[in-house]
């Protein structure tokens, strides 16, 4: 094994994980291809390796879903969270992390070429790598495009467990993303930076959305009230106090009680006392918003 191959095998958490999940020939091919990128990071070479990974990689006897014990730190200070990824997806992202930092125009053009011609699984890997690309500010529009995607797996990859949107999207784009997550029934609690980026305009938009859902007699995701909670006003309170009694979702009633208990809105505090809401309803243990307090 040459020097490049050896180094990528030992100095990189993703490389170590892949090596343990691949048979010897597959790992030797992959590490050789990745190790050679430093000398020849041309679009043609990268595209060829990127698209050929499913044919080349054969897993060993170990499970093919890979999780990393610690987040993988990217060059821009963001972390890549790897949980139950396929070998091919992780290998594609690893390949992307190993592309040298060319000048910005050349680097962005190279990555965008992969986005332009990528099929669904390739796009999932490309969007998953948003936290680890060089020149992180350059990917804002690409991030927004992923959020708008009609491909559910692509949209999920950008919205859930991805730190890029919270760091680089402006407030309007961030709010649109969170609303999109509610519209498409994403894992709201899994949105990185949700509490830190919560804001009044988002809470107002979510309140409007809740009124629409209620009027259509459709269930409301309880996480909506957790986001509205710090910004409760008269309009939100009217619907929340109604649903605290009428909702058929125990978790929604608990979310409203939690939001009231952690709000400084006087009518919400009076509601809890007048209705003798159990203190346990204001706790988060075992709920989707448990991480909210951490």
Q: Could you read off the pLDDT of 23-65 as tens digits, one per residue?
A: 899 999 999 999 888 788 888 889 999 999 999 986 555 457 8
Do 239 and 280 fall into the same domain? yes
Report pLDDT for 58: 64
Do 155 and 208 fall into the same domain? no
Last residue of a domain, one of 172, 190, 208: 190
Lowest mean pLDDT among 210-224, 259-273, 275-289: 275-289
Say if 147 falls within a structural domain: yes
Q: Could you read off the pLDDT of 184-201 as tens digits, one per residue?
A: 999 999 999 999 999 999
Do 140 and 259 fall into the same domain? no
Do 142 and 212 fall into the same domain? no
Residue 273: pLDDT band with limits 50, 70, 90 = very high
Q: Could you read off the pLDDT of 147-181 as tens digits, one per residue?
A: 999 999 999 999 999 999 999 999 999 999 999 99
Do 95 and 214 fall into the same domain? no
Residues 6+ apart with CB under 8 A from 182: 188, 206, 209, 221, 224
Do 204 and 244 fall into the same domain? yes
Domain enclosing residue 261, as ranges: 200-293
Do 165 and 70 fall into the same domain? yes
Residue 194: exposure state from Cβ atoms within 10 A (0-12, 13-18, ≥19): buried
Say if 195 falls within a structural domain: no
Which token pair is 61? 């006897």
Say if 40 falls within a structural domain: yes
Please tell me the pTM assigned to this model: 0.91
For Cα atoms 128, 76, 88, give the angle at the middle one, nearest 5 degrees.
25
Last residue of a domain, one of 162, 190, 218: 190
Do 206 and 161 fall into the same domain? no
């Amino acid at each position: 094994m040459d020097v490049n191959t050896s180094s990528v095998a030992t100095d990189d958490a993703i490389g170590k994980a892949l090596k343990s999940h691949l048979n010897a020939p597959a790992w030797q091919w992959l590490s050789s291809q990745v190790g050679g990128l430093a000398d020849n990071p041309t679009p043609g070479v990268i595209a060829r390796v990127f698209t050929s990974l499913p044919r080349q990689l054969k897993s060993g006897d170990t499970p093919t879903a890979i999780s990393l014990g610690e987040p993988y730190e990217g060059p821009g200070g963001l972390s890549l969270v790897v949980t139950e990824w396929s070998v091919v997806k992780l290998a594609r992202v690893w390949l992307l992390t190993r592309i040298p930092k060319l000048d910005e125009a050349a680097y962005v053009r190279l990555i965008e070429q992969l986005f332009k011609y990528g099929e669904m699984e390739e796009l999932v890997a490309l969007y998953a790598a948003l936290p680890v690309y060089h020149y992180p500010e350059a990917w804002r529009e690409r991030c927004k495009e992923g959020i708008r995607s009609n491909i559910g797996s692509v949209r999920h990859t950008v919205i859930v467990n991805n730190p890029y949107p919270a760091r680089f999207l402006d407030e309007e784009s961030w709010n649109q993303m969170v609303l999109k997550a509610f519209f498409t029934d994403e894992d709201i609690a899994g949105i990185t930076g949700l509490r830190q980026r919560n804001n009044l305009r988002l809470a107002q938009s979510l309140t409007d959305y809740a009124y629409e859902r209620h009027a259509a007699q459709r269930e409301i995701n309880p996480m909506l009230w957790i986001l509205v909670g710090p910004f409760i006003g008269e309009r939100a309170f009217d619907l929340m106090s109604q649903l605290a009694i009428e909702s058929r979702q125990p978790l929604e009633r608990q979310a409203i009680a939690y939001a009231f208990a952690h709000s400084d809105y006087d009518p919400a505090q009076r509601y809890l006392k007048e209705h003798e809401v159990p203190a346990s309803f204001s706790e988060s243990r075992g709920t989707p918003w448990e991480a909210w307090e951490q």
